[in-house]
Amino acid sequence: MSDITQLTSPLLSNRPAISIINGHVIDPANQVDKKVNIHLQHGKIVALGDAPENFVAQRVIDASEQIICPGLIDLRFHLRESGYETKGSIASETKAAAAGGVTALCCPPDTDPIIDNPAMVKLIRLKAETEGAAKIYTLSALTQQLKGEKLSEMRKLKDAGCVGTSNALHPVKSTLVMRRALEYAASHDITVFIQAFDPWLSDGCAHEGAVSTRLGLAGIPISAETIAIARDLQLIELTGAKAHFCQLSSAKAVQLIHQAQEDGLPVTADVTAHHLHLTEMDIGYFDSNCHVIPPLRTQRDQDALRRGLKSGVISNIVSDHQPHGSDAKLAPFAETEAGISGVETLLPLALKMIDDQVMPLSDVIARLTSQPAETLGLKEGTLSIGSDADICIFDPEAYWVVDREKFLSQGQNTPFHSWELKGKVNYTFKSGEMVFSSQ
Amino acid sequence: MISKNIQLDEQGRLKHFLSIEGFKRQHLVNILDAAEPFANVHEQAVKKVPILRGKTIVNLFFEASTRTRTTFELASKRLSADVLNININTSATSKGESLLDMLHNLEAMHCDMFIVRHNQSGAAHLIAQHVSPHISVINAGDGCHSHPSQAMLDMFTIRRHKKEFADLTVVIVGDILHSRVARSQIHALNTLGVTEVRVVGPKTLIPTQIKTLGVHVYHDMQTALVGADVIIMLRLQKERMQGALLPSEDEYYHQYGLTEQKLSYAKPDAIVMHPGPINRGVEIASSIADGPQSVILEQVTNGIAIRMAVMSQTLGRSSGGNS
């Protein structure tokens, strides 16, 4: 990465000195939750409270009535570049991220070409540095070409900058290969990100339940998720690998992860913002914007996901951002592409947990900042002195109506269109550079 | 979320006919009543009525069909509409983009109604959501979801034989999982207020949550048939032997095929129905299909009257039999 560092360091020294005053700072990693001023220079946070001596602010931002928190870290964000630029580019989708208060995102390896060689990692990181409005981290492919047969060069890929490894939406069918992959990852202290579903039980497009029965849609049972989690938990116990389970969708999945954590296994998990708010009922009469994988399940599952988030069994909220062109959703439900363009609604949907679940604001922020940083092993996600000035400033009381036409993402595929949400991002800084302003 | 019932216009009149779900009992009774006079049209010297003269109806079939397409065609012609038949190989246009593109091309030819059959659940709803406001859409079968005109012709046939729905026990036998006909029938029967709807078949062919539609589930044919007034046999697709759904046709016939012996458990005046086409010796014995309790051919005839009623109610809105 030395080439990239060389590119960025001269830029950082040009970043202006900024003081953000009168705002309420929430920095869960340092247990800061108070009204305090914050000062940035050369792309770093230089002080909380009084400005350092000789600090001359080139710009002062009045953040009265606003929350200042670390820039959000989105653990699951599908970059369409490279391979699917008609759906979204690094430039367009990181701009959307910035508008959502996200300053760092992690993309799974299922780009085209697949991220299973160091050159791809460098290419994406370089493009992120030159065109991106957010930092981009990548997961390496767990197996070559995601085929589930041969191990990828995951150590080389780690050295090239990958923050973990994953077989994305291609479950490793062979338990032997999965065992070896976990063992190999454990040898090099690489976290394995698992999207748990049984390939044979997942040949459907909606939760197998009342709605799929009514609409005649092929269902995906909850056991598709729990069988895969149960298998992989056994292998994690066997191999000692560190694992993160992506996008839990059912109450039973939360229960399994909880039990594993109780047993001392090194496992963490995340949930998407949309699984916290939608259920199978939202499909209504074939609303393809609610076609997601894993599928939206029942109210009971949604309640359990929320409880799991509150208790900390689930440590991250992700957007699982998947922008699509409009044609992708204009087909009979089963033929539409799964996924939601979610990054621009991530923060307000997460904040809704405060009103809905009596989860304190600082916990919600932690699930979006310090905890994903911990999962990815990043030093970001805090406002510590000396850390990168990745900052999100938002008005927690501002109501706004979601308008997909106004999305910065190329994907307008959202089931939240015309929802009124509370919590609006006003400024986003990435390494001291203002990458988004609502003004 | 798409929750508005797009099947009705602002005045609560029939605009599209996509699924039985979403209609109240009176809507269904209106359709049945409207079909009564049409049921006798074929006995007249001139079989045509001028209700839809000057209208253009497109039969848009993305999936093969003989019975449904021809009865819709006959129904259209007896209502004096112009009919265009378009059969599209789904493999050639399996993507939604081309589906909607094709639709807009047809709209440009100033058609008034699309009768749509498609192998994907939700296709008719999708089309209804995207057509110009003056066009009505009738679902002639979408995937495993809905086949409302078939359900209505079945209700019509039942009513002609049994008069009151309230006293009836109806048994639906076979592949419920893949059957759009069964889903529509269940909605229609429950909306019309029958005593009990039973479904019977092996677990592999019954959706896990079917009870949420208001049915009683049986796996033993004999128990299910006790006291039945109406027995509806569903067609068993040959491809169900693949994918471990069933062991063999022979075993299926043994367990769930309607034989004289099994029929004896139902009420003596029970009627036997089948949406067709029949697999003789797979789901039903020939002697029953052609026997005195069978109303299978009547269903086909009634299909024309019901489709005339549905089309005239949706398209001839001001003039149709909106009793």
Query: Are B153 and B290 contained in the same domain?
Result: yes
From A281, A289, A211, A220, select the one nearest A253 (Cα to Cα).
Answer: A220
Would the pLDDT of B319 be above 50? no
Q: In this structure, is residue B2 part of a structural domain?
A: no
Would the pLDDT of B92 be above 60? no
Residue B95: band (very low, low, confident or very high) from pLDDT cuts 50, 70, 90: low
Chain A (284-313) residues lying within 8 Å, Cβ to Cβ, of chain B? 284-287, 290
Domains and CATH numbers, chain A: 2-68+389-396+420-437 (2.30.40.10), 71-376 (3.20.20.140)
What's the average model confidence in pLDDT over B273-285?
A: 94
Helix boundaries (H) for A281-323 = 299-311
* Higher pLDDT, residue A14 or A304: A304
* pLDDT at residue B323, rounded to an integer: 33
Q: Are A244 and A193 in contact (CB under 8 A)?
A: yes
Q: What percent of chain B has pLDDT over 70?
A: 93
Is the dihedral angle over the CA atoms B41, B42, B44, B47 positive or is it negative?
Answer: positive
Would the pLDDT of A140 be above 50? yes
Nearest residue of B to residue A285, measured between CA atoms: B2
Query: Are B72 and B153 contained in the same domain?
Result: no
Of A217, A283, A330, the CB nearest to B96: A330
| Residue of A74, A270, A320, A395 marked catalytic | A320
Q: In this structure, is residue B8 part of a structural domain?
A: no
Helix boundaries (H) for chain B = 25-38, 67-78, 96-107, 123-130, 148-162, 180-192, 221-225, 249-256, 260-263, 286-289, 296-315
Task: For this complex, say whether ipTM is above 0.85.
Answer: yes
Read off the CATH number of the domain in which B311 is found.
Answer: 3.40.50.1370
> What pLDDT digit, counting tens, does each position of A62-97 carry?
999 999 999 999 999 998 877 888 888 999 999 999
* Higher pLDDT, residue B89 or A310: A310
What's the average model confidence in pLDDT over B176-198?
A: 97
Q: Chain B within 8 Å of A401 (Cβ-Cβ)?
A: no
Query: Are B292 and B159 contained in the same domain?
Result: yes
Would the pLDDT of A406 be above 50? yes
> What pLDDT digit, counting tens, does each position of A154-181 carry?
999 999 999 999 999 999 999 999 999 9
Asked if the Cβ–Cβ distance from B209 to A213 is below 8 Å, we say yes
- Residue B100: list chain A partners with CB under 8 A: 330
Q: Of B7, B95, B103, B126, which to mutate for an interface test with A (greatest number of A Cβ within 10 Å)?
A: B126
Q: pTM of the full predicted structure?
A: 0.93
Would the pLDDT of B93 be above 80? no
Q: Which domain holds residue B292?
A: 149-297
What's the average model confidence in pLDDT over B284-294?
A: 97
Asked if the Cβ–Cβ distance from B121 to A215 is below 8 Å, we say yes
Query: Are B138 and B124 contained in the same domain?
Result: yes
* pLDDT at residue B321, rounded to an integer: 37
What's the average model confidence in pLDDT over B90-117?
A: 77
Is the dihedral angle over the CA atoms A107, A113, A115, A120 positive or is it negative?
Answer: negative
- Residue A333: list chain B partners with CB under 8 A: 120-122
Question: Nearest-CA distance from A197 to chain B in Å?
Answer: 19
- Residue A217: list chain B partners with CB under 8 A: 121-122, 143-145
* pLDDT at residue B110, rounded to an integer: 86
* CA gap A362, A351 in Å, rounded: 10
Q: What percent of chain A has pLDDT over 90?
A: 89
Residue B97: band (very low, low, confident or very high) from pLDDT cuts 50, 70, 90: low
* CA gap B258, B236 in Å, rounded: 12
* pLDDT at residue A237, rounded to an integer: 98
Mean pLDDT of the residues in chain B: 90
Chain B (130-189) residues lying within 8 Å, Cβ to Cβ, of chain A? 130, 142-146, 180, 183
* pLDDT at residue A9, rounded to an integer: 58
Of B96, B180, B210, the CB nearest to A332: B96
CB atoms within 10 A of CB B268: 7
Q: Chain A within 8 Å of B98 (Cβ-Cβ)?
A: no
Nearest residue of B to residue A209, measured between CA atoms: B209
Do β-strands B196-200 and A72-74 pair in parallel, antiparallel, or remain unpaired?
Answer: unpaired
Which of A194-198, A379-383, B68-72, B218-222 has the weakest average pLDDT? B68-72
Asked if the Cβ–Cβ distance from A284 to B207 is below 8 Å, we say no
What's the average model confidence in pLDDT over B24-48?
A: 88
Query: Are B74 and B193 contained in the same domain?
Result: no
Q: Chain B within 8 Å of A386 (Cβ-Cβ)?
A: no
Query: Are B162 and B240 contained in the same domain?
Result: yes
Q: Chain B within 8 Å of A208 (Cβ-Cβ)?
A: yes
Query: Are B284 and B163 contained in the same domain?
Result: yes
> What pLDDT digit, counting tens, does each position of A288-305 carry?
999 999 999 999 999 999
Query: Are B99 and B163 contained in the same domain?
Result: no
Would the pLDDT of B117 be above 70? yes
Residue A345: band (very low, low, confident or very high) from pLDDT cuts 50, 70, 90: very high
Mean pLDDT of the residues in chain A: 95
Q: Is position A320 annotated as part of the catalytic site? A: yes
* pLDDT at residue A80, rounded to an integer: 81
What's the average model confidence in pLDDT over A147-153?
A: 97
What contacts B136, CB < 8 A, 6 or more positions away? B15, B16, B17, B112, B113, B114, B314, B315
Query: Are B196 and B179 contained in the same domain?
Result: yes
Q: In this structure, is residue B13 part of a structural domain?
A: no
Q: In this structure, is residue B165 part of a structural domain?
A: yes
Task: Please state, in angstroms and as integers, the Cα–Cα distance from residue A351 to each residue in A96, A99, A203, A334, A423, following that order.
Answer: 18, 16, 34, 31, 7
Query: Are B292 and B308 contained in the same domain?
Result: no
Q: In this structure, is residue B5 part of a structural domain?
A: no
What total number of domains does chain B contain? 2
Q: Chain A within 8 Å of B91 (Cβ-Cβ)?
A: no
> What pLDDT digit, counting tens, does each position of B300-309 carry?
999 999 999 9
Query: Are B131 and B156 contained in the same domain?
Result: no
Residue B281 DSSP code: T
Q: In this structure, is residue B4 part of a structural domain?
A: no
What's the average model confidence in pLDDT over B61-86?
A: 91
Query: Are B237 and B108 contained in the same domain?
Result: no
Q: In this structure, is residue B129 part of a structural domain?
A: yes
Q: Chain A within 8 Å of B118 (Cβ-Cβ)?
A: yes
Asked if the Cβ–Cβ distance from A286 to B126 is below 8 Å, we say yes
Q: In this structure, is residue B284 part of a structural domain?
A: yes
* Higher pLDDT, residue A48 or B94: A48
* Cis preceding-peptide flag for A2 (omega within 30 of 0): no
With 0-12 / 13-18 / 19 or more C-beta atoms within 10 angstroms meaning exposed / middle / buried, residue B237 is middle
> What pLDDT digit, counting tens, does each position of A199-216 carry?
999 999 999 999 999 999
Residue B108: band (very low, low, confident or very high) from pLDDT cuts 50, 70, 90: confident
Would the pLDDT of B322 be above 50? no
